[in-house]
Structure 1
Amino acid sequence: MSKKVLIVYAHESPASFNAAAKDAAVAALTAQGCTVEVSDLYAMKFKAAATTEDITGGVKDAENFCYAKEIKLASEEGRLADDIKKEQEKLKEADLVIFQLTGVNIKMTIKPVFQFPMYWSSVPAIMKGWMDRVLGFAYAQEKRYSEGIFKDKKAMLSFTTDCPESVYSDTGINGDINVTLWPLQNGILNYCGFQVFAPQIFWDPATGSPESRSSMLEGWRRRLQNLCVEASVYFAPLDYFDKEKGFLLKPEVKEKYASKECGLTVGIHMGKPLPANSQTKAGV
């Protein structure tokens, strides 16, 4: 069955490694019969700031303006700005969403342009703006996490770093990459209900050899051949938590994991060691 894929892409240079990774994904997925659409945020000059301009016809409570409430109401009433509506339509039609992240780039006289990684251990402002504005209508306390509105869709992050994997280890100076990924993969994607694939991480391509960069891209192409049948990253389901007690783990769940060596997930560790690779490996 043909799948629809949306790649949300954030890099200014068509000669960057990130562009090569995006192009590799488009080619590999198209070859499998997928319909692939790319939202090139810099080319689109996508507005990052979430403001009252995102709502047509005026806000309901200007004195006590709350973006989350106003954007949800505007969505229900069809009063969103055109750029948001266009992206939401792409999102609603997609079976898989790939967030292609990047950082700054460096130019070399002979070699292609490559980029450094995440901005400040997160996504670039223009990507965060896309998430804030386009996913705004999915922010709902009555439908979140395993019951979120995108529970039938899949999503993943694909990004580069400006340092080797060791720097993002549990003893590295930047800290465990699993902890870095938790707010993005759980707080945004899982919150909206997405089944989250393990991220595609390109470790330090800017300082690697041409051969190592080619190897990274080839590994990405191979992964894409079976991506849609991969298992997703594990997150504790919503019914593990007691709504009446502030969404704390239910006693029976705590008892189930009491004898285990590690906690349940990165964010819910129960005072135990963090489970290794729970944000970077499928099904962990």
Structure 2
Amino acid sequence: MHALIVVGHPNAGSLTHAIANEIGNGIADSGSENSFELADLFAQGFDPRFSQDDIDAFEMKAPFPDDVLAEQKRIEAADTLVLVFPIYWWSMPAIMKGWIDRVFSNGWAYKDIDGEKVIKKLNHLKVHLVAIGGAGIGTFARHGYFGAMKLQIHQGIFDYCGVEVATSELLLLADGNDPEEHVKKAREIGAAIPAKTTKRELDMVG
């Protein structure tokens, strides 16, 4: 099993990066047949801006830009996708949202037929979401973050393309939570990913 771990944080020494790295280590430790690639969007200089070239590709009037094609190939080479990100304004950072805007485009992630029918094209793919937040669990629950995340991200993005959200983790820094414990848990999250992916593959074969 091969996982693509996508991280959206400008600081390579951040907790977000530490968690992403430990998820990768957990995947690698779970068996020699398992591997991962870390896609650091800031380090690679990914441009999240949806340009005229992206509009032309979205309208299927031109090929996808080269950097978008490269990201699509990385996803195609993976059995599962892991997104690790800090919560900015109750959502993911702009660079990760822009990555989704540009990469998960019409014609590749789905096909919009005259605005009447949508064909989901990524039914084979699973995604694991790991969000890092600064507020306490009470604040998130009280203001409906969990429902908002499911509506905006689970349903609004991934279900639209046929991608199954296998797991969705929220790691919080408030309420006395120890960042080191989150890093330890990240390794456990990574170790569990191959089994979940293998189950999906067996279900499809059966």
TM-score by length of 2: 0.83
Alignment of 1:151-170 (within 5 A): 151-169=123-141
Q: Which runs of 5+ in 2 are unaligned?
A: 198-206
The amino acid across from 2:70 in the alignment is K
**8 Å Cα contact 1:200-1:220 kept in structure 2:** no
SS class of match (2:42):
helix
**Aligned partners of 1:139, 1:50: CA distance in 2, in Å?**
17
| CA displacement at 1:229 relative to structure 2 | 3.4
Distance (whole Å) between structure 1 residues aligned to residue 40 and residue 68 of structure 2:
14
Which is bigger in relative contact order (C-alpha 8 A, separation at least 6)? 2
Determine the C-alpha separation between the residues in 2 that align with 1:5 and 1:230.
12
Alignment partners' CA distance in 2, 1:195 and 1:37: 20
Q: CA deviation at 1:43?
A: 0.9
| CA–CA separation in structure 1 for the residues paired with 2:189 and 2:81 | 15
Unaligned runs of 5+ residues in structure 1 are 55-66, 103-117, 232-284
Following superposition, the deviation at residue 30 of structure 1 comes to 1.6
Question: Does the CA-based 8 Å contact 2:173-2:179 persist in structure 1?
Answer: no
- Aligned pair partner of 1:14 in 5, 9, 12: 12
**Offset from partner CA, 1:187-221 (integer Å, 9 cap, x none):** 1011111111221211126x846xx2222222222
SS in 1 for 2:162: coil
Q: Distance in 1 between matches of 2:59 and 2:165?
A: 24
Query: Offset of 1:176 from its aligned partner?
Result: 4.0
**In 1, distance between residues paired with 2:104 and 2:59?**
10
SS class of match (1:123):
coil
Q: Percent identity over the alignment?
A: 24
Superposed displacement of residue 85, structure 1: 0.7
Q: In the TM superposition, what are the counterparts of 1:1-284 in structure 2 within 5 Å?
A: 3-32=1-30, 33=32, 34-54=34-54, 67=55, 70-71=57-58, 73-74=60-61, 79-102=63-86, 118-136=87-105, 137-141=108-112, 144=118, 148-169=120-141, 172=142, 174-204=143-173, 208=176, 212-230=178-196
Q: If you compute each CA radius of gyration, which structure gives the higher value, 1 or 2?
A: 1
Hey, what's the Cα distance between the residues in 1 that align with 2:172 and 2:74?
30
- Number of residue-to-residue matches in the alignment: 190
* Bigger helix share: 2
Tell me by how many angstroms 1:73 deviates: 1.7
Superimposed CA distance per residue, residues 53-102 of structure 1 (whole angstroms, 9 cap, x where no aligned partner): 34xxxxxxxxxxxx3x742525xx6x221110100000111111011112
**Counterpart-to-counterpart distance in 2, 1:4 and 1:221:** 16
**Would the alpha carbon gap of residues 123 and 222 (structure 1) be closer, same or farther in structure 2, given more than 3 Å must change?**
same
Distance 2:96 2:15 in 1: 18
Q: Which has the higher strand share?
A: 2
Separation of aligned partners in 2, 1:219 and 1:18: 13
Distance 2:69 2:145 in 1: 37
The answer to whether the 8 Å contact 2:3/2:78 transfers is: yes
Give distance in 1, aligned partners of 2:66 and 2:97. Answer: 18
